[in-house]
Structure formats: C-alpha cells, structure tokens
Amino acid sequence: MTSEGGTSEGGTSEDRAADADTPHFKRLALIGVGLIGSSIALAAKRAGLVDSIVGCARSQATRDKAVELGIVEAMYEDPGETVAGADLVIVCTHLGSYGAIGKAMAPGLAPGTIVTDVGSVKGCVARDLGPHIPDGVHLVPGHPVSGSEKSGPEAGFETLFDDRWWILTPGEDADPAIVQTLTGFVSALGSRVEIMDAKRHDLVLAITSHLPHLIAYNIVGTADDMETVTQGEVVKYSAGGFRDFTRIAASDPEFWRDVFLNNREAVLETLGRFTEDLIALQRSIRWGQGDNLLRLFTNSRDIRHRIIAAGQDTDAPDFGRRAEPPSEPD
C-alpha cells in the first residue's frame, strides 16, 4: 500500500479520481458485493486504485454472479479466507452481521491492514466490529451517503459515488496517516470526504436519511391498510409524491431493520421532534391557519432549492419517468 493522501472536496469527481497522489492497494477485500460493494469495485477499477479485488458472500448465486460480471477476481464464502493478504478490507454487509463478520475475518487480518465499512450507522461499529480487530490493524468506520433502492452485484455502477459525500468517523486513537490514506482512496472513487464524530453522524443521518425512510415505509403501509381505499386504486392513482415514497420503501427491508435497531436513540429523538411538528401542522389545518402552512411550505421549498444548488439533485421535471432513477442516500 502506498499513499500520499488526497483532497477531500477540491475539483470534480474526475479530478479527484485522477489525482496522482491517491493511494494504491495491492489487494482489496469486499465483505459483501451488493450495490455498494460492487460499485466500490467498479469505481476502484476505473481509478486504478487496486491490483486485485476479491469478495465474500453467503450465497453461491451471488458469488457466481459477481465473478461472472467481472466485478471481482475471486469470491469466497469465509470472511477469514477473503481478507487473507488484503491491505484494504471494506465491510459492505448489514449492520446486524458486524459482530459475526468481525469474529470470522479476524484470523486473516494482517498487521497494517486498513478495515473500514459502509454502514449507515457509525456508533455501533466500534461496539460490534471493534473488539475483533487485532492489534496493528487499523479500523476507520465510513459511510458513503449514496445508493438506491436496488440491490445485488448487478445493481452496482462505477459512478455511484461521484460528487456524493463519504463520511469517515475515525476514533480518537486513529492514526492520522491511515485516515489520510483512506480519505485519498474514497476521494479517488469520486466522493467528497467529510470527517465527523460518530455520534454526530448518527444524529445527522437520522434526520436526513433514516427518518425519511421510516416515514416512507409507514405511509405506504397506511395506504395499503386503509379500508376505504382499495389496493388497486392506490396503485392506479398514485401521484408523484406517493410514487417517490414507494421507491424509497422498496429499499432492502433487512438493511433498514438493522439501521433502526442500531440507531434507535437518534431516530427516536428525531421522531419525537417530527411528531410534535406534525401535530402542530395538524392543528394549523384544523383551525384554518393558512399563514402557518404558507410559512412552512415556503421554507421547505427553499431547502429544496438549496439542495439542487449544492449539486445533490437536479430540478429535471421527470415525474418518476426517468430511465435511471437518481441516487438516494442510505
């Protein structure tokens, strides 16, 4: 492994990927080759960041598909066998599997290896994965804030991380040089990199990602359960807003179950605030307080404009008819 670090934000995704000082790894081991894992492999190949890539998956079908698509050179069932000889290991599995994954791969981890992950909750990484990391191996948790409702190795694409945020949450005892190396790697994948405290990350993502998914799952379930509306009518007359909710609610159920169970404190805190605001909104509607509604709706529209201005989405009027759906944060 060689590295001189990399920039966190400067330039376009192409500039970051082409940086001559980006790190290079001999062997990248991906524990999980779904949407995120396969996209990391494809982006790393695009940028020439690794000599070889291997992967791990429980399912024989997934292992066969990943090799067939050329995402990895080899696939294994055993995490310990997968990480043998790797100088960079990225855990791309559901949060609930971290303890078992850490225990299984520990014997194969060599001193100097960097271990990171892509989980949407960061406080649980040190708790579940940390105890299994041997001395001399460097654990730096991470989270690429990008994805879609698609899953599996065939869902990956090399531009998934372009101009999207990738948050790293190193512990207080993390080696700055290792953090710089990992920053350079994910930056070369096309990402903008942010260093953040794990607790802060979990609160921010509870607001911007976890709560919206919870609302989407709930509103789709409510529509399905309403006795006065048939399921056929829900599907037939679904407007753009409802279709957006169904797209979000199509995300991996097991993945999101683990997110909510592992970030319950932050989610419950934001859910409590949301519930209070929703009750206030209900009161404004009941009492005809149009000024309150207009103030809220205007502010919300302004936030949408700021998101577009920041390059996090476009204002294309596709109404859900775009051939390729836009990336959706995890």
Q: Model pTM? A: 0.84
Q: State the pLDDT at residue 318.
A: 53
Q: State the pLDDT at residue 227.
A: 57
For 175-183, the CB contacts below 8 A with 24+ separation are 175/138, 178/114, 178/138, 178/140, 179/140, 180/3, 180/5, 180/6, 181/1, 181/3, 181/5, 181/23, 181/114, 182/23, 182/114, 182/116, 182/140, 182/142, 183/5, 183/6, 183/8
Average pLDDT over residues 271-292: 94
**Which band of pLDDT confidence, cut at 50, 70 and 90, is reported for residue 244?**
confident
Domain residue ranges of the chain, discontinuous segments joined by +:
13-196, 200-309
Q: Please give the span between the terminal C-alpha atoms of the chain, in angstroms, as a whole number.
A: 29
**For 128-166, what is each residue's pLDDT tens digit?**
999 999 999 999 999 999 877 778 899 899 999 999 999
Is pLDDT above 80 for 232? no
Q: State the pLDDT at residue 6.
A: 37
Specify the higher pLDDT residue, 226 or 109. 109
Q: State the pLDDT at residue 229.
A: 64
Q: State the pLDDT at residue 230.
A: 66
Tell me which residue of 297, 287, 123 sits closest to 204, measured CA to CA: 123
**Which band of pLDDT confidence, cut at 50, 70 and 90, is reported for residue 252?**
confident
**CA–centroid distance for 52 within its chain:** 23
Is pLDDT above 60 for 322? no
Angle at 63 between CA 60 and CA 67, to 5 degrees: 140
Q: State the pLDDT at residue 326.
A: 46
Which of 79-88, 250-259, 262-271, 309-318 is predicted least confidently?
Answer: 309-318
Tell me which residue of 87, 21, 24, 22 sits closest to 54, measured CA to CA: 87
Q: State the pLDDT at residue 148.
A: 74
Structurally, at CATH architecture level, domain 13-196 sits in 3-Layer(aba) Sandwich (3.40)
**C-alpha separations of 286 from 1, 222, 226, 298 in Å:** 63, 21, 21, 20
Q: State the pLDDT at residue 8.
A: 52
Average pLDDT over residues 34-40: 95
Residue 2, token pair as written in the block = 């060689």
Is pLDDT above 70 for 324? no
Residue 71, token pair as written in the block = 């995402």
DSSP assignment letter at 88? E
Is pLDDT above 80 for 228? no
Average pLDDT over residues 273-281: 95
**Which band of pLDDT confidence, cut at 50, 70 and 90, is reported for residue 267?**
very high
Q: State the pLDDT at residue 137.
A: 98
Specify the higher pLDDT residue, 71 or 312. 71
Specify the higher pLDDT residue, 180 or 12. 180
Is pLDDT above 80 for 77? yes
Q: What is the percent of the chain where pLDDT is above 70? A: 86
Is pLDDT above 80 for 36? yes
The reply to whether 13-196 and 200-309 are identical in fold is: no
Rounded-to-integer distance, Cα 234 and Cα 221, Å:
11
Average pLDDT over residues 41-60: 96
Q: State the pLDDT at residue 309.
A: 78
Count CB-CB contacts under 10 A for residue 58: 12
The radius of gyration of the chain from alpha carbons, rounded to an integer in Å, stands at 21
Structurally, at CATH architecture level, domain 200-309 sits in Orthogonal Bundle (1.10)
Tell me which residue of 303, 281, 307 sits closest to 294, measured CA to CA: 281
Is pLDDT above 70 for 268? yes
Is pLDDT above 70 for 79? yes
Average pLDDT over residues 302-316: 75
**Which band of pLDDT confidence, cut at 50, 70 and 90, is reported for residue 55?**
very high
